[in-house]
Structure 1
Amino acid sequence: MTATRPAPVPTPEASPSSRRRLPAVLAVAVSAALVVSWFGAADPTTWLLETVWVMAGLPLAILTRRRFPLSGLLCGLLAAHALVLVVGGHYTYAEVPAGDWVRDRLGWDRNPYDRLGHFAQGFVPAVLVRELLVRTSPLRGSRWLAPLTVCACLAFSAVFELLEWLAAVTGGHAADAFLGTQGDVWDTQWDMFCALIGATCALLLLSRVHDRALVRLGVDRPAGAS
């Protein structure tokens, strides 16, 4: 008698309704964090400069959610990045307590939260750029997708550094908290390098996960796409 193999147990996936609720839940959480971060902010001007990206990006994502819904993976990453910005805006990047703890524990010379922020500035936009290119451009499935995604993230990082330069020129010492250089003359180069590492890590670690998230969203990608 041939033994009958048990039927495989299907892997549970998030229901369509729960996937639809996720962006709304994340939007409420980010909005609440933004409001809370405003109270007792170390430097109101720095708070505004650091969180303006959240205040601009969140309404844009909400207004376009029906015409151009984002994958669940990207929504989660954008929310996490928003929280990084909100915390940095509340304390200023050089004074974030968690960064001070890491600095003291490891014997470093500076608070590393600024480096984390610029790593995220490459990591999260890499997934955003990749999703936009896959869904709207002929680069879908192309080997140029990954390198051009990294180039776009570096370009965004360079634009941000130019904005910091403009803030330093117009604000003088008043912009020190926003710049967060902590006395490092190579801070600009380090910031862009961290963004480069972040973008590269995102593509290496999340490309396949992102592909599956796009399929769940209804975007089919060719086999062998990078």
Structure 2
Amino acid sequence: MIPGAAVWKALPNRQRWTILLLLAAVALANVAQPYPDLAPLQHGPTVALLLAAPWLLRRWPLSDNALACIALFLLLHTLGARYIYSYVPYDDWSRALFGTDISIALDLHRNGYDRLVHFAFGALLTGPFAQIARRHGGMGKTAGLLFAFAAIGLASALYEIFEWLLTIVAAGETADYYNGQQGDAWDPQKDMAAVQLGSALALLFIRR
């Protein structure tokens, strides 16, 4: 078995720095954490993935560009996780910078940050999924892209089911806060639609 230090050293330097940057972002997101009871549920999977990343990247290497897309998605998620998504204060930031609310400008009736991150999941991870299919699944370009589109949809659906089960088991009375439904009974379906829209746009971009 290869020692962990050797696995870490074998990674390209840019990829090591990317993992360290993401770990630092998670640490900063938990400084003066406004929702400490829910923070482990929000950040725990990210930390576990980052700790496993050297072994995963050794087994299934990715290009720097693909890893950068994954890192950008995880940064968006980490920001949302700090505020359990439903309370990301983007309107406060917008007022401070531009003197107006994003919610008013876009006629939003709920906090839309979670929908943005679901869209980003499709838009940013379709490329890495397609690269995995081509590099490690032996697929051609078109087949790899179609696989990525389908896999993104499957991952989105499985996540919604996982989130539902996790909140029943672990979140208890805070389930609605953790899920970020904000009273919308159709939130999971809208989230999955946002994911597939992001993935479809990514496919068009990659094909061009």
TM-score, normalised with respect to structure 2: 0.81
| Corresponding residue SS for 1:93 | coil
CA RMSD of aligned residues (A): 2.2
CA contact (8 A) 2:133 2:147 kept: no
Corresponding residue for residue 105 of structure 1 = 105
Pair 1:39 & 2:31 matched: yes
Structure 1 distance, partners of 2:206, 2:51, is: 26
Displacement after TM superposition at 1:160 (Å): 0.8
- 2:21 is matched with 29
Native 8 Å contact 1:47 1:90 kept in 2:
yes
Q: Name the structure 2 match of 1:146.
A: 145
Q: Aligned letter for 1:159?
A: L
Q: Which amino acid aligns with 1:182?
A: Q
Q: Counterpart of 1:15?
A: none
CA distance in 1, matches of 2:137, 2:58: 20
What letter matches 1:91 in structure 2? Y
Q: Which structure: greater helix fraction?
A: 2
Aligned twin of 2:55: 63
Give 1:53's aligned residue.
45
CA contact (8 A) 1:38 1:90 kept: yes
Q: Between Structure 1 and Structure 2, whose CA radius of gyration is higher?
A: 1
Instruction: Give 5+ residue unaligned stretches, structure 1.
Output: 1-18, 209-226
Check conservation: 1:157, 1:192, Cα contact below 8 A: yes
Q: Structure 1 residue 82: deviation in Å?
A: 1.1
Q: Is the 8 A contact 1:99 1:113 kept in 2?
A: no
Query: Which of 72, 75, 86 matches 2:78?
Result: 86
TM-score where L is the length of structure 1: 0.75
After superposition, the C-alpha distances for 1:70-127 in whole angstroms (9 at most, x for unaligned) are 2111111111111111111111111111266421332310111010111122223312
Q: What one-letter code is carried by the residue in structure 2 that aligns with 1:108?
A: L
Going from structure 1 to structure 2, the CA distance change for 1:195 and 1:23 (only over 3 Å counts) comes to same
Shift in Å, 1:169: 2.8
CA–CA separation in structure 1 for the residues paired with 2:80 and 2:60: 29
1:155 paired to 2:154: yes
- The 1:65/1:185 distance shift into structure 2, 3 A limit, reads closer
Q: CA deviation at 1:35?
A: 0.6
| 1:190 to partner: Cα distance | 0.3
What letter matches 1:149 in structure 2?
A
Q: Secondary structure at the match of 1:44?
A: coil
> Identical aligned pairs, as a percentage?
30
What's the CA shift for 1:25? 2.1
Q: Decide whether aligned partners of structure 1 residues 188 and 133 sit closer, same or farther in structure 2, where only a CA change above 3 A counts.
A: same
**Between Structure 1 and Structure 2, how many residues are aligned?**
189
Tell which deviates more after alignment, 73-82 or 118-127.
Answer: 118-127
Aligned mates of 2:68, 2:57 — CA distance in 1 = 14
Report the equivalent of 2:8. Answer: none
Change (3 A) 1:55 1:191: same
Which consecutive aligned stretches of 4+ in structure 1 deviate over 6 angstroms post-superposition? none
